[in-house]
Chain A
Amino acid sequence: DIQMTQSPSTLSASVGDRVTITCRASQSISSWLAWYQQKPEKAPKLLIYEASSLENGVPSRFSGSGSGTEFTLTISSLQPDDFATYYCQQYNSYPLTFGGGTKVEI
């Protein structure tokens, strides 16, 4: 199974900050990586797929990069609505696996 490791697990930031979250895969997954945002008691929401493709309707302050085993999610200017938990997911091979999550808090 491919293990996905996110860092940090918690991130304290302020409105307007540039935020970067890292996701590492235990083996190469090419660009088969997605990022999701989840708010408390809500379903996850797709932000990025194929490592860097922005899902329709997602603000352009979100961006993704990387390939192989190292990936990043960047929020260029943190907004109040962005305080949430973020998960990466590899979909290179079964079983599909998620990172442990990164909680972005004030």
Chain B
Amino acid sequence: EVQLVESGGGLVQPGGSLRLSCAASGFTFSIYWMSWVRQAPGKGLEWVANIKQDGSEKYYVDSVKGRFTISRDNAKNSLYLQMNSLRAEDTAVYYCARKGTAGRYSDYWGQGTQVTVSS
């Protein structure tokens, strides 16, 4: 069974940093692109970043470029999101998701981890 379990969320002050982790199991992690998607309170879904199987390609939404870094450790079956210079508008539930086999949609999602940026 495919499982994605996020961790690392919490309350952080504006300008602070946080590192999210996603532990993957039930599939061969190293052969899949992976994604982070977020959802602000009461709002819709927003794609944040994608990373290729070997980490050689990364894509970001403009609003996080230069502040967030997506990475992975295939030996540990883990995906990460390093978030720096956090802003109030980064407050959201962050989901880890696996890219589907037939395109850049997401076929499996974790349960999400809450990130709150507030003083």
Contacts and interface: CB of A to CB of B under 8 A. Distances in A.
A48 to B, nearest CB: 9
B105 to A, nearest CB: 4
Contacts of B109: 43-45
B105 A46 contact: yes
A105 B60 CA distance: 34
A45 B95 CA distance: 12
A46 to B, nearest CB: 5
Interface stretch (A10-18, A19-27, A67-75, A93-101): A93-101
A55 B107 contact: yes
Contacts, number: 61
A34 interface: yes
A36 B75 CA distance: 30
> 6 tightest A-B contacts by CB?
A34-B105, A91-B104, A43-B109, A96-B47, A98-B45, A101-B44
Given A43-B111, A44-B109, A32 B47 contact: no
A46 B59 contact: no
Interface of B: 37, 44-47, 50, 59-62, 95, 100, 102-112
A43 B103 CA distance: 20
A83 interface: no
Name the interface size band of chain A. 20 to 34
A101 B37 CA distance: 15
A44 to B, nearest CB: 6
Given A44-B37, A91-B104, A100-B44, 12 more contacts: A43-B109, A44-B95, A44-B106, A46-B107, A49-B103, A49-B105, A87-B44, A87-B45, A91-B103, A95-B47, A95-B59, A98-B44
Interface in A76-106: 87, 89, 91, 94-101
A12 to B, nearest CB: 20
Contact of B106 (A46, A50, A94, A99): A46
